A and B are shown apart, each in its own frame.
Chain A
Amino acid sequence: MWRKIVLALIILVLGAGVAFFVVKSEPKLNKNFAKAGSFLKEHPFRLGLDLSGGTHLIYKADVSAVPSGQVGDSMDALRDVIERRINLFGVSEPVVQVQNGGFISGAGEELVVDLPGVTDVKQAIAMIGQTPLLVFETEAPAAPQKITVGPDGKVNLNVNPQSQYAPTQLTGRYLQRATLTFDTNNAPTVSLQFDAAGTQLFDQITKDNVGKTVAIYLDGAPISAPVVREEIPNGQAVISGTFTPMEARTLVGRLNSGALPVPITLLSTQTIGAILGDNAVAAGVKAAIIGFLLVVLFLILLYRLPGLVAVVSLCIFISIILALFKLIPVTLTAAGIAGFIISIGIAVDANVLIFERMKEELRSGHTIADAVKLGFSRAWFSIRDSNISNFITAIVLFYFGSSLIQGFALTLGMGVIVSMFSAIIITRIFLSALSFIGEGKVARFLFSSGLSK
């Protein structure tokens, strides 16, 4: 019997430790936060955009020109480029994610960009939109353009230069580095170095087009169309033209901070001001606390001593969940907080089922110790089945796709799993430890229900 009590005390201490961690690692709750150890400092609650304020952008990536096996790679390259660009502007904790086209989400390849703290949409889009699209094009055997002579004798010289070229595989994806150089006349030029794959492509292109021009297109406009004098096997190209040094430097900067592997268009924008975000957090916390208190009241009124035990294990449940939110970390959104609050309600369901079963066994004459054992074992099937169905819901919602819903599904699913642990194992340990109360009238009173039936 002493073993059971010691076990219960150990759990209490561990639970208190977890709660301590949760409180101490949150700057708003810990007055000595600045002096806290680094482990505590590195785990604040991560807030989603609708709680912290910021901008959420969804871009559609046009992968029609990319061979199907390479779509994944291109999207990853795109992600890296945009992230590099954003990091240059010092946004704290930006999130750039590829959202793949799939059966459930249906759409094409998308890029989702979250910029916490950036509320000026113009600034955000400018940061991202400036990444240039670089394409090398070779002469295409297009139909020769007719130069017409109009009725008044004027020669129509509107030849569309673009139709003379066709794009190749060689794009900004393969660009390793661009540098500003000066040629022999001290005119500024931009020197390009391709990566391994790009070097091979460039080699092929120059070999096939000796004596012809290869056009370099930047964001859809040709910036240079040099004649290929010989095959270039080392992946180096030089763009010379009528640049001023300033223009050349800007071009090098833009090319280096990332030439986009695929073109992107902006599909949707969301900005939440910080004021709205703060209000939402305050309201969420308030609702969580009040919800918790209501449940505590309910448990104690209805189930007396076992109810109190359930309250203690509920507190441990909440500490564990909050600690997991910090450690994993889980980004909390308004929907995520709702999921957490709902899981508080669900967490006690298992306890309710067990206690009702216990009451039934007590009524049919069992001792308290037996009633506890039987309550747990016989209620297990209902608990297992109803939690599985909750979990199935959480899983389907998670694969639904959008990050808003995933936040809710994640907190709900985590709540279901941890609640099974806390309601069954922790409550059981505490209840068995309390068996020293014995079987007298007081004990039976404490274990029966506060309301009849």
Chain B
Amino acid sequence: MFIIKHKKIFIGFSATLVVLSIFALFLFGLKVGIDFKGGALTEITYATARPTQTDLAKPLADLNFGDISLQPTGNLGYIVKSRDLSDAEHTLLLSALSLGGNSTLTELSFNSIGPSVGAELTRQAILAVILISLAIICFIAFAFRKVSKPISSWKYGIIAIVTLLHDVAIPVGLFVLFSHFYGAEMDTLFVVAVLTILGLSVSDTIVIFDRIRENLRNQANVNKINFSETVGKSLEQSYVRSICTSLTVILVLLALFFFGPVTTKYFALMLTAGMFFGTYSSIFLASPLLVWVEEWQKKK
């Protein structure tokens, strides 16, 4: 099957994308949102006219709250970022922004997060990633425990995880680009997106592995299996359904991205990228890797 025949090209292509993503991550870095590093985010909108940033510079500097950044949004609004504020400081900030009451404003939202909450979240995030990965390896090894020839079942699990990491790395790389060019910030939803990609894209890989398992089981003589041919045949039989199942999720995610609430826009975009690469990797990466591992095993 032509994917298996040219497996080195496809594996190479995937590897290149992953390397590029990691490179982008180190080069540009991720903008960390207040969920993780703590701080305050205030969104305000003025009733009639929005003061310019120079107008506000002195009143804000007088507050002595450290760095305060003003990001214009729409025609009448600002997103104000600062260190975390106590209640009294929050009131002072609002009065400075309204130029002592001269420009009436309404506060749309206010978030102040202490730094300890952020550190806690980082810890939770890392733990959750590790947990999900372990759970998936165990689950796949268990589900495929009866197919230990010619590749042992835990190797299926490991290849699934390698595929997953590829599925996560590339959307993260994309997010780094968004972060750099459009100012997207890493927040709790970003972590949720990563974890969801881990979970959802593995179910796609399972569809194909499942086919391989069935075809292997149906072979009469276990020792005469031509593994690469079996994998190729399985791919041919199942690539359509793999694409279709992912397409349904991508369709709803696109609806969420284009029409959904603002807070979930980047979330939907990352998940779309994750699902897309998840399907790509199930077909063009996981199966070629399986064959590659088997061939390497035979050579030993």
Contact = CB atoms under 8 A, between A and B. Distances in A.
Q: Please determine whether chains A and B interact with each other in the same assembly.
A: yes
Interface in A371-408: 381-382, 385-390, 392-394, 396-397, 400-402, 404-405, 408
Contacts of B244: 302, 352, 356
* Contact residues of A: prevailing secondary structure: helix
Contacts of A272: 108-109
Given A353-B245, A396-B195, A106 B123 contact: yes
Interface in B188-229: 188-189, 191-192, 195-196, 198-200, 202-204, 206-207, 210-211, 214
Interface stretch (A32-40, A88-96, A186-194, A333-341): A333-341
Contacts, number: 223
A345 B252 contact: yes
B124 A271 contact: no
B112 interface: yes
**Category for how many chain A residues contact B:** 35 or more
Closest 10 CB pairs of A and B: A393-B199, A386-B203, A345-B249, A291-B255, A291-B252, A287-B260, A280-B261, A345-B252, A356-B241, A268-B113
Contacts of B27: none
A283 B245 contact: no
Interface stretch (B59-67, B147-155, B167-175, B263-271): B263-271
Contact of B135 (A266, A291, A387, A396): A396
Given A280-B261, A294-B254, A345-B248, 11 more contacts: A107-B120, A286-B260, A298-B247, A335-B192, A335-B267, A382-B206, A386-B204, A392-B132, A393-B199, A396-B131, A400-B195
Contacts of A385: 143, 203, 206, 210
A334 to B, nearest CB: 5
Contact of A405 (B139, B188, B259): B188
A283 B259 contact: yes
A387 B199 CA distance: 10
B256 A453 contact: no
A88 B114 CA distance: 28
Interface of A: 50, 58, 60, 104-107, 119, 121-122, 125, 266-273, 275-276, 279-281, 283-284, 286-288, 290-292, 294-295, 298, 302, 334-335, 337-338, 341-342, 344-346, 348-349, 352-353, 356, 360, 381-382, 385-390, 392-394, 396-397, 400-402, 404-405, 408, 412, 453
A382 B268 CA distance: 26
B253 A345 contact: yes
B289 to A, nearest CB: 18
B111 A269 contact: yes
Nearest to B110: A271
Contacts of B56: none
Nearest to A107: B120
B101 to A, nearest CB: 16
Nearest to B241: A356
